[in-house]
Amino acid sequence: MAKLRRSLLHRFLNWKSRNLTHRQFLMFLSAVIGFVAGIFAVIIKNLTHLIQSLLEGEFIVRYHDAFYFIFPVIGLLLVYLIIKFVLKRKVGHGIPTTLYAISRQKGIMKRFQMYASVITAPITVGFGGSVGLEGPTVATGASLGSNISRLFLMNQASRTLLIGCAAAGAMSSIFKAPIAAIIFAIEVFSLDLTLASLLPLLLASVSAILTSYFFFGSEIILPFKLEDAFTISEVPYYILLGILAAACSVYFSRIYFGSTKLMAKIRSPFVRLIIAGLGLGILIYFIPPLYGEGYNVINNLLQENYLEALGTNLFNAYLENIWVVIILLAGLVVFKIIASSLTFSAGGVGGIFAPVMFMGSAMGHCFALFINNLGIFKHQISVSNFTLVGMAGLMAGVLHAPLTAIFLIAELTHGYELFIPLMITAAISYMITNKFEPHSVYTMELAQRGDLLTHDKDQTVLTLMNISRVIEKNFIPLEVDMDLGDVIHQGVVKSSRNIFPVVDENRNFMGIILLDDIRSIMFNEKLYKEVKVRDIMQQAPEIIDIETDRMKTIMKKFQDSDAWNLPVVKEGKYVGFISKSKMLTAYRQKLIEVTV
């Protein structure tokens, strides 16, 4: 059977090479991947809704209070068991996993990632995990794009573009916002905005949204009709909202990474699941709106039904007081990211796109109610408009994707009446947040490891380069206890290089000897036994650590030291040398690959 598949694939590739150009085939694949990414989005969303409907059935409704506490823990336990005993592989967090595959694995994603999130994400969210489905949907589509491109022997640049097409397709299908989906792929995955990349993204986005219309009709995830027009007198309030969004964005990032690192100190995944899962259950029990994705809460806030959005809680008797409502909405902003972090820490699979929108809507709604009820401003601002723009502000700050935020909200409202306030709030939020958090929650860990791809072409090429491929190992190591005679007979005579690494008996790197260092004494046989290696060796101008140094760091070390060859170590042990000339040659080759 496998032989038959290989034969059919070989015939198809031969037919393709004769009848289709690479560009034409890329267009075809982008449309197919967009369509399938849309199918995955439909499957993941419907599975989640199915689980939620089953859990909210007649049998369960009598246990309504316990529902919020115990079901998130059950869902997380099921995900843990599936990952441990069925998948037997770690399932990453959607978009960060995809970005890592692009930067460090040449866009190659393992096949299990095509179905892992389809199984685990609906269980996580369906049982009440406080995360979103957008990230897993993007990761599923991206894995599909990666494996299809490998099947048809596409190069790395095409593979990366098809991953971006899958991401655009997933977002287009979920939100029915094709333009925002294209911008999302370009902003988050650092794709080049050229005609060569734009047309495949457009085809993927269109095919995905048609798929969504076929299955869901005209129903959208955030139905909203704009009723209040923007007025110039509201500009100062939108500026204040942008500043508030920046503060909430910094809070989001700090809490997200801080709590994740804190929970990571618990080494046992099961113990971590129990502690984080119970914490999540308690939080959701007292604050029911934190349950699941939260789009029902967002829609209620957009309709200005804040009582419905807050649901049944301990403060129901006090909700006639608007200031109690404002405090409770502020509580949603504060605790949503904590609930999301606990979900991730417990092993749940999901994304942070929905939590960001949830927090943004609660923040904008809370801000508008606060201004309108403060009693010192004559002008009443639109609560629904500020709820929408609040989402854009937080997306711009947390995701570092201001254009995606602007166009997504503009498309959701079916017009551009709010374009100016969206631009004001998103720009202010992004600029201030970028000052304190230079990387988004998607890219923070990658940036710290030096694995992040950006729109900076030089930086991208350096990130994609593989250190191990430029290491030269045809240098003869000399032991530190050798004498000059050993250096001549075992090193100089046998080597074609003019530099020798010095190591100890355990191959730990000690220093280097240059041929110029011994040229004046190498023919004096009287010194052969007297002069030791330790007497003539010197420190290397810089040392490259293969485990911690990335190409950008290595390039800087060459620049600072003005050396042509630098030694490479791993855990302190000598590995080889990297030469500046070979590294520049590899850089040129990779630049050609990336730009083709």
- Complete domains list, the chain, with CATH: 2-216 (1.10.3080.10), 232-448 (1.10.3080.10), 460-595 (3.10.580.10)
pLDDT at 240: 95
The pLDDT value given to residue 454: 47
pLDDT (tens digit, 9 = 90+) per residue, 278-317?
898 889 888 888 888 888 899 899 888 888 888 777 777 7
Q: Stretch 397-414: mean pLDDT, rounded?
A: 87
Of the pLDDT bands very low, low, confident and very high (cuts 50, 70, 90), residue 593 is low
- Per the prediction, the chain carries an average pLDDT of 83
Cβ count within 10 A of residue 535: 9
Question: Is the confidence at residue 415, as pLDDT, over 60?
Answer: yes
Distance, in Å, from the CA atom of 295 to the CA atom of 144, rounded to the nearest integer, reads 27
| Token couple for 350 | 């999901």
Are β-strands 478-479 and 499-503 bridged in parallel, bridged antiparallel, or unpaired? parallel
pLDDT of residue 369: 93
Alpha carbon distances (Å) from 427 to 100, 183, 360, 393, 406:
27, 16, 15, 8, 9
Q: Is the pLDDT of residue 571 over 90?
A: no
| Burial (CB count within 10 angstroms: exposed 0-12, middle 13-18, buried 19+), residue 434 | middle
pLDDT of 408 higher than 70: yes
Provide CB contacts within 8 A for 373, sequence distance 6+: 322, 323, 326
What is residue 66's predicted lDDT score, i.e. its pLDDT?
64
At 379, is the secondary structure helix, strand, or coil? coil
Residue 50, C-beta contacts closer than 8 angstroms, at least 6 positions apart: 122, 126
Give the angle subtended at the CA of 102 by the CAs of 409 and 16, to the nearest 5°.
100
Least confident of 55-59, 290-294, 564-568: 55-59
Name residues whose C-beta falls within 8 Å of residue 55's C-beta, 6 or more positions apart in sequence.
67, 71, 126, 127
Looking at residue 463, its pLDDT comes to 56
The full 3-state SS of 248-308, as one line of letters, equals HHHHHHHHHHHHHHHHHCCCCHHHHHHHHHHHHHHHHHHCHHHCCCCHHHHHHHHCCCHHH
Tokens of 482: 């050798």
Residue 157 has pLDDT above 80, yes or no: no
DSSP string, 538-569: B--S--EETTT--HHHHHHHHHHHT-SEEEEE
Q: Any residues with CB less than 8 A from the CB of 400 and at least 6 apart, and which?
A: 187, 430, 433, 434, 439, 440, 442, 443
End-to-end CA distance of the chain: 36
Residue 156's pLDDT band (cuts 50, 70, 90): confident
Q: Which band of pLDDT confidence, cut at 50, 70 and 90, is reported for residue 252?
A: very high
**SS3 of the chain: helix, strand, coil, percent, to 5:** 65, 5, 25
Q: Specify the 3-state DSSP secondary structure of 209.
A: helix
pLDDT at 539 over 60: yes
Q: How many residues does the chain have?
A: 596
Question: In this prediction, what percent of the chain has a pLDDT beyond 90?
Answer: 22
Nearest residue to 475 (alpha-carbon basis) of 494, 493, 500, 492: 500
* pLDDT-based confidence at residue 393 (cuts at 50, 70, 90): very high
User: What local confidence, expressed as pLDDT, does residue 444 receive?
Assistant: 67
92 vs 250 pLDDT, higher one: 250
pLDDT in tens, 158-170: 888 888 888 899 8
Whether residue 60 has pLDDT greater than 60: no
Select from 404, 375, 387, 395 the least CA-distant residue to 187.
Answer: 404
pLDDT score for 1: 61
Residues whose CB falls within 8 Å of the CB of residue 271, separated by 6 or more in sequence, listed in order: none
pLDDT digits (tens, 9 = 90+) for 96-118: 777 777 766 667 788 888 888 88
The set of long-range contacts for 80-88, using a CB threshold of 8 Å and a minimum separation of 24, is 80/269, 80/270, 80/273, 80/346, 80/347, 82/119, 82/120, 82/123, 83/120, 83/347, 84/269, 86/119, 87/112, 87/116, 87/119, 87/120
55 — pLDDT class (breaks 50, 70, 90): confident
Residue 596 has pLDDT above 50, yes or no: no
- The residues pairing with 567 across neighbouring beta strands, listed in sequence order, are 577
Say which residue the tokens 């904590």 belong to.
338
Order across the sheet with 544-545: list the strands.
Answer: 471-472, 573-579, 565-570, 544-545
How far apart CA 553 and CA 450 sit, in angstroms, is: 9
| Model confidence at 367: pLDDT above 50 | yes
Three-state SS at 4: helix
